[in-house]
Amino acid sequence: MLVAAIVALALYAAGWRRLRRRGRPDLAGAGRAALFAAGVVVVVLALVSPLDPVGEEYLLSGHMLQHLLLGDVGPVLIVLGLAGPLALFVVPRPVLRTVGRRRPLRAAARWITRPAVAVTVWIVVMAGWHLPVAFEYALAHRWAHDLEHATMLLAGLLVWLTILGAVPRHRLGAGRRAAIAVGLLAAGMVVSQTIFLSDPLYDVYIDQPERLFGLSPTADQVRAAMLMTTEQILTLGTAAGLLVWQHVDRAADVARAELAAARGREA
What pLDDT, in 10s, does the model give residues 42-101? 999 999 999 888 888 889 999 999 999 999 999 999 999 988 888 877 877 777 777 667
**Region of residue 114 (phi > 0: left; psi between -120 and 50: alpha; otherwise: beta):** beta
Spatial contact of 107 and 169, defined as CB atoms under 8 Å apart:
no
Instruction: Please report the pLDDT score of residue 255 as a whole number.
Output: 66
pLDDT digits (tens, 9 = 90+) for 139-163: 999 999 999 999 999 999 999 999 9
Is residue 215 within 8 A of residue 60, CB to CB? The reply is no
For residues 56 and 63, is the Cβ–Cβ distance under 8 A?
yes
Q: Which residues of 182-201 are buried (b: 16+ CB within 10 A; e: fewer)?
A: bebbebbbebbeebbeeebb
| pLDDT tens, residue by residue, 19-56 | 888 878 878 788 889 999 999 999 999 999 998 888 88
